[in-house]
């Protein structure tokens, strides 16, 4: 059996089309399937939307809640030997079946994902533009050591590593990927576009402020880095994703040794990095992105040293529908 586990919190805007897309995919598969929705204490109509669908088993977290806990609960109640995790703001596409499974409906690789398109929205809920999630995975399949909100894994492998770490309110998918890569199991990222992801652009000012308040600017990076500092794949991630943070650390060390001029190079490195990654979008955007980068680097360094998130141990849930 294949178990599709959809998780969400306050996803009423997109949850229906997410669940419907999973249902359509299940009906096209010539094997036993089930759909599980795990809700993280939503305050909108998400649970009601899920309960309207007879083919969906609905569970709701009633104590500590985050995406890691929701996925662990979904895996716990799942009957399938294969677990397919989908975020509640994602629409899966029909050809995900061929991208993930062979003709006997076994996974092509025990830890597998695909590519998808991000459909971005502004603060008013209006669609703006689309962008491919993993641009480097557009032309060929690749093995990677991190995943995202959509992936499939054998239940055996999931149990071997103990599922997700409930401590991580954010970045739990990255943590899972790092732990699996350390034991030699990498994510197979298929080149196929297998889903459409409805989300707010990551550089939107409202999202940046929201991410600051809920810790998303800190948890996915600094806590992961500290937890997996001995993992060589984390070192690679730091170099590729946070080179300016590493430069700032080096500049601070050199400054302590008396070479104060080294800090003057940091804003130059930041601006050069932004221009290299995003191109030129006007002086205003460069200033905003530069301040955002400086703020994120500073917060990550401080949290790496001082911040230790509490453990989420109150894992309680209830079955909502019959």
Angle between helices 172-182 and 67-77 (to 10 degrees): 60
Span 116-129, average pLDDT: 85
pLDDT tens column, 251-285 = 999 988 887 778 888 998 998 888 877 777 778 77
Q: What backbone torsions phi and psi does residue 58 show, to the nearest 5 degrees?
A: -110, 130
pLDDT tens column, 17-61 = 999 999 999 999 999 999 999 999 999 999 999 999 999 999 999
Residue 85 has pLDDT above 90, yes or no: yes
Q: Residue 73: which of 155, 10, 5 has the closest Cα?
A: 5
Give percent of the chain with pLDDT exceeding 90. 58
Classify domain 2-203+311-319 at the CATH topology level.
Spore Coat Polysaccharide Biosynthesis Protein SpsA; Chain A (3.90.550)
Q: What backbone torsions phi and psi does residue 101 show, to the nearest 5 degrees?
A: -120, 150
Q: Give the residue extent of every domain in the chain.
A: 2-203+311-319, 222-306
pTM: 0.87
Two tokens at 76? Answer: 């716990």
If pLDDT is split at 50, 70 and 90, which confidence band does 208 have?
low
Q: Which residues contact 242 (CB under 8 A, 6 or more apart)?
A: 221, 297, 300
pLDDT tens column, 211-259 = 666 666 666 788 889 999 889 999 888 898 899 999 999 999 998 888 7
CA 62, CA 110: separation in Å to the nearest integer?
Answer: 31
Burial environment of residue 259 by CB neighbours within 10 A (0 to 12, 13 to 18, 19 or more): exposed
Could you tell me which residue, 32 or 65, shows the higher pLDDT? Answer: 32
Q: How much is the CA Rg of the chain, to the nearest whole Å?
A: 21
Q: Which helix (H) or strand (E) holds 283?
A: helix 283-306
């Amino acid at each position: 059996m294949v178990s599709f586990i959809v998780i969400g919190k306050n996803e009423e805007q997109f949850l229906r089309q997410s669940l419907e897309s999973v249902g359509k995919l299940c009906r096209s598969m010539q094997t036993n399937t089930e759909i599980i929705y795990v809700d993280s204490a939503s305050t909108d109509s998400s649970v009601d939307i899920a309960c309207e669908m007879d083919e969906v088993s609905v569970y709701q977290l009633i104590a500590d809640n985050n995406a890691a806990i929701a996925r662990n609960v979904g895996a716990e109640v799942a009957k399938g030997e294969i677990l397919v995790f989908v975020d509640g703001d994602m629409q899966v596409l029909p050809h995900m079946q061929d991208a993930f499974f062979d003709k006997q409906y076994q996974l092509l690789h025990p830890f597998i994902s695909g590519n998808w398109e991000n459909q971005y929205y502004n603060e008013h809920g209006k669609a703006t533009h689309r962008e491919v999630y993993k641009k480097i995975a557009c032309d060929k399949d690749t093995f990677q050591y991190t995943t995202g909100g959509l992936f499939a894994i054998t239940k055996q492998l999931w149990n071997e590593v103990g599922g997700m770490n409930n401590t991580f309110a954010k970045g739990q998918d990255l943590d899972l990927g790092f732990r699996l890569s350390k034991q030699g199991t990498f994510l197979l990222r298929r080149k196929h576009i297998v889903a459409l992801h409805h989300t707010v652009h990551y550089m939107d000012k409202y999202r940046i402020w929201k991410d600051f308040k809920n810790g998303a600017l800190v948890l996915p990076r600094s806590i992961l880095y500290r937890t997996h500092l001995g993992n060589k794949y984390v070192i690679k991630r730091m170099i590729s994703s946070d080179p300016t943070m590493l430069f700032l650390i080096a500049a601070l060390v050199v400054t302590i040794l008396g070479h104060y001029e080294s800090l003057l190079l940091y804003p130059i490195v930041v601006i050069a990095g932004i221009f290299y990654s995003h191109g030129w979008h006007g002086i205003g955007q460069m200033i905003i992105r530069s301040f955002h980068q400086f703020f994120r680097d500073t917060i990550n360094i401080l949290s790496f040293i001082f911040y230790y998130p509490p453990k989420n141990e109150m894992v309680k849930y209830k079955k909502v529908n019959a």
